[in-house]
Every structure is written in structure tokens, then in C-alpha cells.
Structure 1
Amino acid sequence: MLLVLAALPVAAMLFEVLRSPRLHFLDYWSVFTRVTDDDGSLYPRGVLTYQNEHPMFLPGLLFWLEAKLLGGYNQVLGLIDVIMVSSTVLLLRRLLPRELGDTKRAALTAGFSFLLFTTSGLHNFAFGFSGIGWLSANLAAVGALVLAWRGKHASAIVVGIVGCACYGTAFAVWPALALVNWLRRERARWVVGPLVIGVVVVLGWAMTYGPKPSLDKGDLLGLDSYLAAVAAALGQLWSTNQDVATGAGVLTGLLLAGFAGLGVRRRFADDVQHPQTPWIGVAVYAAGAAVMISAARAGAGLDIASTSRYASIPALAACAALALVVISWPQVSAVRVAGAAVAVGLMTYAIGSVQAGHVRAQYAKQDLLAIAMRTDAPAMVTQLRAKVAALPAARALGLYPFNEDFSLGCGGHELGEVIGADALTPVRGVSATERTGGNLDSPAVGDALINGWAMVADKRVDCVLVLDRSGTVVGGGITGVPRPDVAQALAASDPRLGFTAVAGPGTAGDRVVVSAGGRLYQLTPG
């Protein structure tokens, strides 16, 4: 039953991925542009270039392969993210001692699943490109620690190097491996070796990463600022409020530090292989990654507590803390362990709904971006946070939206179709009897946001189109945009009566048409 419960957040995240936009978000387009030539071929030198100071070498290669073979869909990368985190959960389960018993192991597995698939971290799944970096580094780090715990040191080092080629947070795996091997009393080369490799990796990164950090005296922060940022990074699962997250992070950090100190004391006290050892390694990795994130982001003034792409790091730290507590007190009954593990997982999962809501709120604009790309509206592509330079390669490879899956989603009306004037019902304002009408906030202009509102029978419209003077469909957009001002003024029952559309540049005399119940209505500026 508990293992079935562990599958619940996996299924929920699969649902989230499948309903996320097809079009990629944000920095995907920076990476894609860098690793791909305009003709769609791979640009190897670009693969070995840093992305926001991170060595996303393998993710960049994966982006190109997915675009080449599978059509360049955000959801495909999201599904890969789900597979990676599911694998991470299974690897963490392998670190649990069998002496715990099946019930406790299953309960902890359920807890790990809820923590790692927490809604706080929806960003890394719904924005598939983001998870490919963060989550692959975590998977490699945990995999390396599992291998080290099983005495496969060379393999652990190879996996650690792979992780470092995925994302910079994997740099923290080297001190974690060294500590685990030292606690296990392995030969000196397996303790010193990871530390040496870590130094080489960091030095290699420092020598090849272009921009160097600025030490402008006006931007210098005190130690307290960095400590607060580390604590917020470790505690962000439990609150988007910076102060609350910082307090939770302090408690988490103290708990993990206490177990690490206990592990060191036991190392000098006896020759026993303690089952807490690999989990101390997981904790050190998570804490090290949090320190790296904080050092890089605190100076930028980012509110780490509300930045959901970092959620996988405190989730791993929470998994380590949960496992260490249960393993260290074996006398606690299986029923109590099951209740506590599930409660922690469910509580964390529920708290993350606020951050998940922020992520989902960004979905609609991706549909608008897809239309901007397809209609060659460069100003709008830039404004909607994609790269105009990516468009030639995207067309060459047939990425979405440059394939047959693209649609305006407007009852079969698509770009290039001609709609006659006799098919349009002119509307302006609102009919007092039919409660039907709408308005443009400004004249329709190509390669710019076209905003307005419309309703039919007191309800929002289904879709929006942009027509040129000849009646040819030259653009479209999204509906359901919140317009509380309109709803209040008209005493409308639906507050989401707004729409936003975009059309290609160079058109003249554009008209905006909305559809409801299969009928088309032409709006005029107010």
C-alpha cells in the first residue's frame, strides 16, 4: 500500500507534464541556439559552452538530439525529467538498510517520492529544459554515492564526472564522495582522489568560464547575507516567505550537521560500518549544492525562497534528514515511521501549491509565443522571452511550432485562411439584452501585443483571430485573460474576459475576430 502511495506523486507529475505547453520556455532557446547551426546541424563547439556559468554540455547535446529525432517538444524533456527523478527515488531506496524492514523502507520511499516530486519543484518538470540540468546532476550525484557505498569507486568517479557535465551543482559530489569513503575507512586514494578531481574540475571551470565575478564595493555582501541565502535555499520547500524559509533551512542545516558530526565521531570510536554513512554523503551533497546556489545568486538579489527551480536541492536534503532520523532510532515502531514519513511528504507537497500556481500561470503565454514564432514577429518573440536567432534552426528541424502540430486552436481556422466579411458579426460595447460585446484597447498592429476583451451571452469567448484587410488570418492569441476592471464595470459573472493576440509584422488594416459557439464576431477599437 505504501509503495502504491509512492507512485501517486509520480502519476500526478506525469499529468502536469502532459498538460504543460508543447513549446519550450526561457533559456532552452539560448542553449538550442548555441548548439545548433541555422541549418539544424549540431554545432559541437557550442555544446562545450557554459550556460549561465553552468556546464550544461550533456543537456545541450540532448536538446539537439530531441529536436532532431522527436520534434523539439517541451513535454518530451518533461517526461525525461520524471524518469530521472523516479530513478533517483529508487536509488535512494537502495541506500536504506534492509534491517529497517519492509514497512519502514516503503514508508520512506513514499516520503522520498512526495519530496522529490513536490509541487514546489513543478518548474523543473513543466519547464522541461530546466529539469534536464538540475535533475540529471542530482541523479548522477546520488548514483555516485550508491556506487561508492557498494565499493565501486572507479564507477562512482565516472558517474560523478558525468554529473559535472550536466550541471554545476554536481561539483558538490566530490567532497560528499570523499567523506563517505573516509567514514568507510577506504584506502587513502579513494578519499584524496575525489577531492583532487573536485579541485581540478573547479579550477578547469574557473579558467574556462568567461565572465568573472565583479567585486564592486557597492555590491559586497556580508557573511550574514550568504548564510541567510544558504538557509533559504535549504528551507524553501516549506514557505515562499524568505524569513520562514530561512528559519526552516537553519533547522534543516543544523540537523544534517549534527548527523555529520555524529558520523565523524563514530569514525574515531569504532570500526563498524554505520548505515547512516551514505545518507551523510547525500546531505553533504545537498548542502554543498545549496552553498553554490547561494554564493552565485545572493549577490544578484534573488529571492531564493520563491525560486522554484532550486527546489530539488532542499528536497534531497529533506530526504537525507528523514532517512537519518529513522535509521538512527530503530526502536520507533513501523506504524509511527510510516505515519511521520507520509505526513512530512504530504505536508511538503501541499505547501508547494503556491509555487506550482506561479508556474502554471506562465503556460498561456507560451501559446502566444508559438503564434509569434510562426508569424515571424521578432519583437514579440523577444518580448515573450525567446531567441529570434533560434528560429532558422527551429524551422530547419521542424520543431514545434514549425510542424503540423501547430494550431491556432480556433475551431479549425488557421493561418492563411480567408474569412469573408459575411461570416463576421460586428460588435462594439455590450448589448443590454444579449450581454454580448467586446472592445479593443487599441488598434490592431502587427508584431505587437493586441489586447482587448469580449464576451458572448455573459461568458468569455473561445478564441481570437487576427485578419488582414483581405480577410486572411495573419495571427491569433489567447483568451481567458483576467480583466477584473471589465467584469466589475459590466457586473459580469466571469472575470476572465480579456484576450491577447499577436500577428506578423508588415500587415495593414488588421482586424480582431473572436469566436464563441462557432460564430465569429469582429471587434472595433474603443
Structure 2
Amino acid sequence: MTALASPAAVLPAARRPRVGIAALAAFAALPAALALWTALHAPRAHVLLDYWHVLAKITDDRGNLVLGQVLTYHLDQPFVIPSLLFYADAAWFGGDNRVLTVLTVALVAGIGACLYSMLPASLSPHRKAALAAGMSWLLFTSHLAEIWLQGTNGISWIPAVFFTVLAASQAHRGRLWTAATAALLASLSFGAGLPAFFIVAAIFLLRREHRSKTIAMAAAGVVVLAGWLLTKPAGAQSLATTALDPDGRLSVAAAALGSLWSGDHAVTAVLAGALTAALLAACATSAKNDPRAAGWIGIAGYAAALAVLVALGRTSALAPGGNIGLISRYAIASALATSALLALATFVRPQWPLTAVVIGICTISLTTHALGGAKADLTRRGYAPLALAPVALRTEATGVLDQLHIQSQVIPAAKALGAYPFNPHFTLGCHGPELGTPINPATATDLPAAHGAITTPQPGALITGWTDLHPDCILTTNPTGTVTGGGITNLPSPAPGIPDGNAWQATAQPGTGPITVYAVVGDRLYRVHESAGSAN
């Protein structure tokens, strides 16, 4: 009797690869979909000081763009393209943070497309699909949660990376003018784009392009770097140390390269970064004569340059976890380095079985994404108290704005542009009561001290407290019952004895007299009183 053939054996050979490629394509799409979902569900409000600082700097009180200010530095670095994107968001899209978070996702997708375009046609479709899946998981990693949640960080950092990777991908094809244009745009975006011309020159050198191309790009890089050094403001920025500190800076650079392998443990990230750098050096040395590897060696060099720039410009003893290389947005350096390592390893070890390659890539993808969960949680916890910014801006509570380091001088321009929270989309989230509307104090119930209290009542500044009712929102009123402010709830614990999620913060419009604070649960109001010993 003839044995029955297996179903796989009777399928045409041309159809079997498509099944595997389709599965890898779906696997590659998953992290991008997760990042996009996060970006779409991010808060409407910009809560980070950089957005409001830049908007105040580049506009007049009528909301007009001051072009000369666009050309000035932010945090010691070029900031032309992010400044224009911030202004466009405020002027055309109502200052909606989600517009910039989605744009950040699109730019990261563009980085992935540039990397994929550098994979050689000689690779089998399955290997290309596996590498594309790995790069997608590395680029859309959970470690980068802060750029999916707040577009300020994404647009400050990612355009420079995108244009540099675009320049590298064009140089990988020997295209001088498109590579030069992309490098110039990178240089105008942020400090992360300053190495772009040097990366292009290195790729041309590896490709053995005409010497004039390499010299021209290297010379352009020198001009850009020298121009920045001669014109940048003096002094340190963002609390960065000015000490020599070679050990500390080396630790930061290594942690940035290995940050995908640690949530909040600096030693693990440093060890992973050192191993990544060693493997990249070994692969680059072995593949340096392979023209297919030129662009990837350039990407590896760029990842290392990013890590060094972070170490030189952002090293601070005040960094969370003691190492600033663990900051969420800097994980893009580790993502690029690991992507380059995957590609270079494929060139150096083409004999590796496809099954082993796929299993290895899936393991790396899922492991690094899982490790990023801790970093994403820390990012959300860090952003939670900043959500008071829209209320503080709308009520012009300068005391709270000062505490959030947001310049109150931006308010006239934001009003003129109709940027959130100065548009009809603003709400206190209290199911009806808004700023200026009356409530009936007689309908409120006094909240027993055992269930919550005000801990710091400061009209016009920050009002803090706690309650175990988990209210929908906090309202403040003046003596006549008119709503003069509001707040945010479910905050991380500010002190021992207050469980996570029970804290709240609020603010009220200055100059409206004594305030009363209410916790709103559904359609019920609970009047919150001061705790014994609270500050007045």
C-alpha cells in the first residue's frame, strides 16, 4: 500500500513560502499596531514643558510664527523641524498631542522601511521577512512608550533619527544628493542628527564610491559640527554634569546601547550594551568588504554615535535608576544597534538554518518587548501628575505652571491659536460641571476624614489630597458655588500610608476667594475637608 503524502508535501512549492511569509508579516505588524493604538489613545493634552517652552519662544502673543526664533537652539541643539511641527500642531490641529504621537509612529515606521530597503535582493524572501519582523519588534518596542504617549518627546527626538537613517539608506545605494539632503534635514532636526553627514561619508567609503563623494560628505559634516560648536549657547543643559567623569559617561553609552535588555536595572543594560558593541565590531570587521553590509555598518556606527551623544550631553546623577541611558526615548539607539546586528549576522553567517533564524528573532523580539513593560509603567507613572497642566493653563494658575516648569507667557499665543486647552475640546471630565458653571452645594455630602482629606490647600497653586472613593474628577468652587478649577485623580502614592491610586491633585483660578473641594463620583458630590495639620 502506498503511504499517503502529507498535506504540506502536496502543496505547490510556490505556495508554501507565502504561508510562512504571511505569518511573519502578521508578526511584524503586531508591535506597530500596539504602538499606534497607544498613540491614538494618548491624552489630548501636551503636558511636557518642552512643547510649551518652544511654542512660547517661536510665537508672538497673537499666535504668529516668529521665523527667526525657529532658527535658535533648544537644549543647546538645532530644533528647526520639531519647532515647525509643534507650531503646525498648535495652529492647524488644535494643539492635539495625539497628532504628534501618531506622526511619531509614522516616522518610526519610516525608519523601519529605510532599514528594510537596505536588505539585499540576494536574501531569500523568508529571511527578509524574518529580519523585517525582528526590526519591527525592536523599533516599535514597549521601551519607547514615552514617545507613543507624549508627542513632544517623539517629535523632539525621532525626526533627526529618521532623516539620518534615510540618509544612510540612500548612501547605501550610492545616491549622493538624496543622502546629502536627508543628512541636512537631520542636522536641522536635533543633536541626534549631527552625525548624519559623517555616517553618509563612512558608507561611501565602505562602498568604495568615488573619493570626492566621501570627502564632500565628511567636509559637510565638519562644517555642520563646527558651526554648532561655535554658535551653541555656553553651559550645561537639562541638569547634565560638566565633570569629566569618563566612567559615568561610558556607563551611560553602554546602557543606551543595551537598554532593550533591561527595564530599570542599569548594570544589566551596561552588560548588554557592551556585548552588543563587541558583536557589532566583530560582525562589521568580518563584513567590511561586503558591499551589502556598508549601510548596516553605517547604522551600527550611528547607534554608537547616538549612545555617545547621550553620554556626553545628558549624563546626570539625577537620572532615574542612576543611569540616563535607561530613559525610554533613548532605547532607539539600542533598537538600531540590535537591528544592525541581526542584519550583519545574516551576512556573516549565511549558513544558519532559516528555522534557527526565525526562532532567534522571535525570542529576541518577545523578550525585549516584555522587558520594556517595566519601563512603560514607570513612564506612565511619571506622566500621571503632569496631567494637571491643561487645568493649570486654562485657569492661568501660575503657581502650578511654575511647578510644572511651563511658561505662563505661552498663554496668549495658545489662546490666539486655539490650542488645547483653549478650545471647546477642554473638559474637567466631571459629567457636566465645567469652569464657570454653578453647582448646588446643598446636594453635596461631607466626606468623612477616614475616606479622604485635603493635605495642602493652596488657591492658585497646587492643591493635593487623597480619597479612597476613586472619584471621576475633582472640582473646586468659590464661596458662591461657581466652579473655579478642577483636578486629576488616581495618582501614584505621594507618601507612605496613601495607597497607589488614592491621591489626587487640583488647582483653582487665582483670586476667586476661599475654595471648596469636591470629589465627584458619578452624579454625587463629596465635600472634601482639610486634614489635621495641613498647610494653609
- TM over 0.5: same fold? yes
Structure 1 contact 484–496 (Cα < 8 Å) conserved: no
Retained in 1: the 8 A contact 2:260–2:331? yes
Q: Which residue of 2 aligns with 1:92?
A: 115
Residue in 2 aligned with 1:460? Answer: 470
Q: Deviations over 1:192-249 (max 9, x none)?
A: 11110000000111111121569xxx95325333322221221122123222211111
Aligned to 1:20: 42
Which of 71, 81, 97 is residue 58 of structure 1 equivalent to?
81
How far residue 485 of structure 1 moved from its aligned partner, in angstroms, is: 7.6
Report the alpha carbon displacement of residue 339 of structure 1 after superposing the two structures with TM: 1.3
Counterpart residue type for residue 525 of structure 2: L
Given candidates 286, 293, 313, the residue that maps to 2:310 is 293
CA contact (8 A) 1:464 1:515 kept: yes
2:226 — aligned with what?
Answer: 203
Contact 2:479–2:516 at 8 Å: present in 1 too?
yes
Structure 2 counterpart of 1:319, from 329, 336, 339: 339
CA contact (8 A) 2:166 2:179 kept: yes
User: 1:305, CA displacement in angstroms?
Assistant: 3.1
In structure 1, the partner of 2:491 is 481
Q: Identify the match of residue 523 of structure 2 among 499, 518, 524.
A: 518
Q: 1:250 aligns with which of 268, 274, 295?
A: 274
Residues 17 and 78 in structure 1, CA contact (< 8 A), matched pair in contact too: yes
Counterparts in 2 of 1:62 and 1:460: CA distance versus 1, 3 Å: closer
1:451 is matched with which residue?
464
Query: Contact 2:205–2:214 (CA<8 Å) still a contact in 1?
Result: yes
Q: Is the 8 A contact 1:410 1:463 kept in 2?
A: yes
Structure-to-structure mapping, 1:179-258, within 5 angstroms: 179-212=202-235, 220-239=243-262, 240-258=264-282
Instruction: Note the C-alpha offset of 1:291.
Output: 1.4
**Are 2:452 and 2:467, in contact at CA under 8 Å, matched by a contact in 1?**
yes
Q: Does 1:351 align with 2:371?
A: yes
One-letter code aligned to 2:458: V
**2:11 aligned residue:** none
1:318-371 deviation line (CA, Å, top 9, x unaligned): 110111112221111222111111211111111111111111113433431111
AA in 1 matched with 2:100: L
Identical aligned pairs, as a percentage?
A: 37
Q: How far has the Cα of 1:497 moved from its partner?
A: 2.8
**Aligned AA for 1:3?**
A
Query: Displacement, 1:487?
Result: 7.0
Q: Confirm or deny that 1:509 pairs with 2:514.
A: yes
Deviation for aligned residue 1:483: 5.1
Greater shift after overlay, 398-407 or 308-317? 308-317
Q: Which moved more, 1:330-339 or 1:51-60?
A: 330-339
| Residue of structure 2 equivalent to 1:117 | 140
Look up the equivalent residue of 1:66 and give its one-letter code.
D
- 2:431 and 2:246 map into 1 onto residues whose CA distance is 58
CA shift for structure 1 position 170:
1.4
Question: How far did residue 401 of structure 1 move?
Answer: 0.4
Give a deviation string over 1:81-136, Cα, whole Å, max 9, x none.
00001111111111111222111111111111111111111122212122113211
Partner of 2:181: 158
Which residue of structure 1 lines up, in the alignment, with residue 4 of structure 2? none
CA displacement at 1:407 relative to structure 2:
0.3
Runs of 4+ in 1 over 6 A off after TM superposition: 484-488
Report the alpha carbon displacement of residue 484 of structure 1 after superposing the two structures with TM: 9.1
Alignment of 1:307 with 2:327, yes or no, is yes
Residue 425 of structure 1 and its aligned partner are, at CA, apart by 2.1
User: Which amino acid is 1:297 matched to?
Assistant: R
Q: 1-side partners of 2:71 and 2:49: how far apart?
A: 20
User: Between Structure 1 and Structure 2, how many residues are aligned?
Assistant: 501
Residue 161 (structure 2) aligns with? 138
- Indicate if the aligned counterparts of 1:241 and 1:305 stay in contact, CA closer than 8 A: no
1:472 and 2:482 correspond: yes
Gaps of 5+ in 1: 267-272, 431-436, 489-493
SS state at 2:292 partner:
coil
* Structure 1 residues 495 and 356, CA gap change in structure 2 (3 angstroms): closer
Mean Cα displacement is larger for which, 314-323 or 289-298?
A: 289-298
Counterpart in 2 of 1:491? none
Give yes or no for contact 2:256–2:307 (8 Å, CA) kept in 1. yes
Q: Is the 8 A contact 2:447 2:529 kept in 1?
A: yes
Give the direction of change, closer, same or farther, for the CA distance of 1:485–1:283 in structure 2 (3 Å limit).
closer
Tell me the distance in 2 between the aligned counterparts of 1:481 and 1:66.
28
Residue 453 of structure 2 corresponds to residue 439 of structure 1? yes
- Measure how far apart 1:309 and its partner are: 2.0
Give the conservation status (yes or no) of the 8 Å contact 2:286–2:348.
no
Q: Aligned-pair distance for 1:145?
A: 1.5
Paired letter, 1:17? A
Q: Secondary structure at the match of 2:177?
A: helix
The answer on 1:3 being equivalent to 2:25 is yes
Is the contact between residue 461 and residue 514 of structure 1 (CA under 8 Å) also seen in structure 2?
yes
**1:142-184 Cα shifts (integer Å, max 9, x gaps):** 1112111222112111111011111111122222212211121
2:299 partner amino acid: V
Partner of 1:522, secondary structure, is strand
Structure 1 residues 452 and 226: CA distance shift in structure 2, 3 A: closer
CA distance in 2, matches of 1:485, 1:371: 24
Structure 2 unaligned blocks of 5 or more: 1-22, 532-536
Instruction: For 2:298 and 2:421, locate their aligned partners in 1 and report how far apart those are by CA, in whole Å.
Output: 44
8 A contact 1:480–1:497 mirrored in 2: yes
What is the alpha-carbon distance in structure 1 between the residues aligned to residue 306 and residue 143 of structure 2?
A: 18
Q: 1:135 to 1:173 in 2, by over 3 A?
A: same
Q: Following TM superposition, by how much is the alpha carbon of 1:498 offset from its aligned partner in structure 2, in angstroms?
A: 2.8
Q: Distance in 2 between matches of 1:159 and 1:26?
A: 29
Choose the corresponding residue for 1:372, options 392, 397, 404. 392
Shift of the 202–483 alpha-carbon distance from structure 1 to 2, 3 Å rule, reads: closer
* Kept in 2: contact 1:21–1:366 (CA 8 A): no
TM-score (norm 1): 0.91
